[in-house]
Amino acid sequence: MMEKARDLMQIGVKTIAKDGSVYDAIGILGKHRISGLPVMDGPTLVGIITEKDILQLVFRQEHLPGAVEKYMTREVVTFDENDDIAQIWTCFVRQSYRRVPIMREDRLVGIISRTDLIRARMRDFGTGRPSRTSNSAEQTPLVRDVMTAGLLTTTLGAPLLEAAETMVAHGVTGLPVVDDCMRLLGILSEKDVLRLLDSSPSRSWHVRDVMTPDVVTFNVDDDLFDVCRCLAENSFRRVPVLDRGRLVGIVSRADLILYILKHRTVLFRGRALVESCVTA
Amino acid sequence: MLGLFKAAKAVRQVKILIVDDDTSVRETLRDRLVRQGWDVAAVCDGHQALAAAAENKPDVVLLDIHMPQMDGLTALECFRRDPDLSDVPVMMVTGSSQVSDISRAASCNVADYVTKPFNATDLVTRVEQVLRRTQRSTTL
């Protein structure tokens, strides 16, 4: 039977009232380690405010007076709890969404994120993981098959605002921090920047003051399955990829979703759900 | 004879009690658990939970913490003090991840602690684990 949104959605999602402040939103996002908050007018969903929205705001202006209502995205794509998961996959891939609210009539009842989709597909991996053979055209995919190369990076001594500007300008949610030899020293994420901007922003901050130094990495020849599991089970959205100790690429949740869709027949042979994604 | 005995043995429906003041969570979760074939009741605070459990003893209680009238941790303590309900497995299903709440729940022998938001299918798996543990300890 086709999986429905209600089978996959997260129930009991964190929300914020439309008259809550942006600083309240930052607090909730940070405390619960989430990247987006539905904005409510009583029981009615009226918008959504995301880490990315807030990062762009705090970068542009020093103070953020007024309620989240003033800054939120009003046009939010939603799905019904009885919609097929295939429709949601298509939406995520074509529109680069991170999450979609799930509705029952006019009421918000849940959220489906990229993580939920990856986690669901991980269950398929778990039961039907292909074995690697030396001469098979359908061998298990490796990290090198999916990683994005040619990365934007930053350095320890770069001014934080400059790095944040790069993130906003290029629409990325994280920057690897490297030395002159492309050895990875850490990652600067939207969350790191937000955390600092929430406390005591200063123009004298540098990347080294905020970055996350302990980073989970993978090697170019590691099994993609292990990356899938890592990104599905943890809160981070990307993992740097190393080759002989040097940073050569990155794999994000979005990369995985695209790859899984593109290679669906190999990865999930005979699985009706993914086939229907293609025809949707 | 054995086959006849098995056939005659009634299969009792699993009874779940949801306690949550959020209508959306209550209804969505109830729908999911009913699809599981379970007999599900849902109430919205600790007082109602104790009354509902006394009337029809559940196999598992899914208990929120922050609720009006009587919060979930107080209700859990009442469950443990009540001789008729002290053995009912209680799973906390809550937005709170505060250490003080977790440790207070743990001191009352809570069966599991699930933080919101959660995936209903994952929750079903965890309820089944609690049911299996309970059945095993009852059999032993």
Distance from C-alpha of B68 to C-alpha of B126, rounded to nearest angstrom: 26
- Above 90 in pLDDT, residue B78? yes
Structure confidence at residue A210 (pLDDT): 86
What are the boundaries of each domain within chain B?
Answer: 13-134
DSSP-assigned letters across all residues of chain A: ---BHHHHPEES---EETTSBHHHHHHHHHHHT-SEEEEEETTEEEEEEEHHHHHHHHHH-S---SBGGGTSB-----EETTSBHHHHHHHHHHH--SEEEEEETTEEEEEEEHHHHHHHHHHHHHHHPPPP-TT-TTPPPBHHHH-B-S---B-TTSBHHHHHHHHHHHT-SEEEEE-TT--EEEEEEHHHHHHHHHH---TT-BHHHH-B-----EETTSBHHHHHHHHHHSS-SEEEEEETTEEEEEEEHHHHHHHHHHTHHHHTTT-HHHHHHHH-
Q: Which two tokens stand for residue B75?
A: 């209700």
pLDDT tens sequence for chain A (280 residues) = 578 999 889 999 999 999 998 888 888 877 776 778 999 999 899 999 987 777 667 656 666 777 899 889 998 999 999 999 888 877 776 676 778 999 998 899 999 987 777 666 656 554 334 333 333 344 567 888 888 887 889 999 998 878 877 877 776 778 999 998 889 999 998 777 776 665 555 667 889 988 988 899 999 888 887 887 787 667 677 889 998 889 998 887 767 766 765 665 444 443 333 334 333 3
Cross-chain Cβ contact B28/A81 below 8 Å: yes
Structure confidence at residue A279 (pLDDT): 38
Q: Which two tokens stand for residue A253?
A: 């949740």
Strands of the A238-243 sheet, one edge to the other: A218-219, A238-243, A246-252
Cross-chain Cβ contact A6/B120 below 8 Å: yes
Cross-chain Cβ contact B25/A12 below 8 Å: yes
Distance from C-alpha of B135 to C-alpha of B140, rounded to nearest angstrom: 9
Q: Which residue of A has its CA nearest to B98?
A: A31
Tell me if chain A has a CB within 8 Å of the CB of B95.
yes
Most confident of B74-88, B101-115, B116-130: B74-88
Structure confidence at residue A195 (pLDDT): 67
Tell me if chain A has a CB within 8 Å of the CB of B119.
yes
Q: Which residue of B has its CA nearest to A43?
A: B24
Distance from C-alpha of A106 to C-alpha of A104, rounded to nearest angstrom: 6
Distance from C-alpha of B21 to C-alpha of B90, rounded to nearest angstrom: 17
Q: Is the dihedral of CA A30, A31, A34, A39 positive or negative?
A: negative
A→B contacts (Cβ < 8 Å), by residue, are: 6-14, 81, 104, 107-111, 116, 119
Q: Which residue has the tokens 């469950």?
A: B79
Share of chain B above pLDDT 90, in %: 67
**Is A110 in contact with A81 (CB distance < 8 Å)?**
yes
Structure confidence at residue A280 (pLDDT): 35
Provide the whole-model pTM: 0.64
- Above 90 in pLDDT, residue B126? yes
Distance from C-alpha of A156 to C-alpha of A124, rounded to nearest angstrom: 40
Tell me if chain A has a CB within 8 Å of the CB of B32.
yes
Q: Select the more confidently predicted residue: A92 or B95.
A: B95
- Bridge partners, residue A100, by sequence: A112
**Is A87 in contact with A95 (CB distance < 8 Å)?**
no
Task: Nearest by CB to B28, from A8, A109, A116: name it.
Answer: A109
How many residue pairs from chains A and B have C-beta atoms closer than 8 A? 49
Structure confidence at residue A123 (pLDDT): 61
- Bridge partners, residue B17, by sequence: B41, B61
Tell me if chain A has a CB within 8 Å of the CB of B120.
yes
Distance from C-alpha of A197 to C-alpha of A226, rounded to nearest angstrom: 34
Q: What is the dihedral of CA A101, A188, A33, B127, to 10 degrees?
A: 90
pLDDT level of residue B25 (50, 70, 90 thresholds): very high
Tell me if chain A has a CB within 8 Å of the CB of B22.
yes
Cross-chain Cβ contact B116/A11 below 8 Å: yes
**Is A34 in contact with B97 (CB distance < 8 Å)?**
no
Structure confidence at residue A264 (pLDDT): 53
Distance from C-alpha of B21 to C-alpha of B80, rounded to nearest angstrom: 21
- Domains of chain A as residue ranges with CATH: 5-120 (3.10.580.10), 142-260 (3.10.580.10)
In single-letter form, the type of residue at position A77 comes to V
Q: Which residue of B has its CA nearest to A103?
A: B24
CATH class of B13-134: alpha beta
Q: Which residue of A has its CA nearest to B27?
A: A109
Helix (H, G, I), strand (E, B) or coil at B117: coil
- B140 CA: distance to closest CA in chain A (Å): 33
Structure confidence at residue A173 (pLDDT): 75
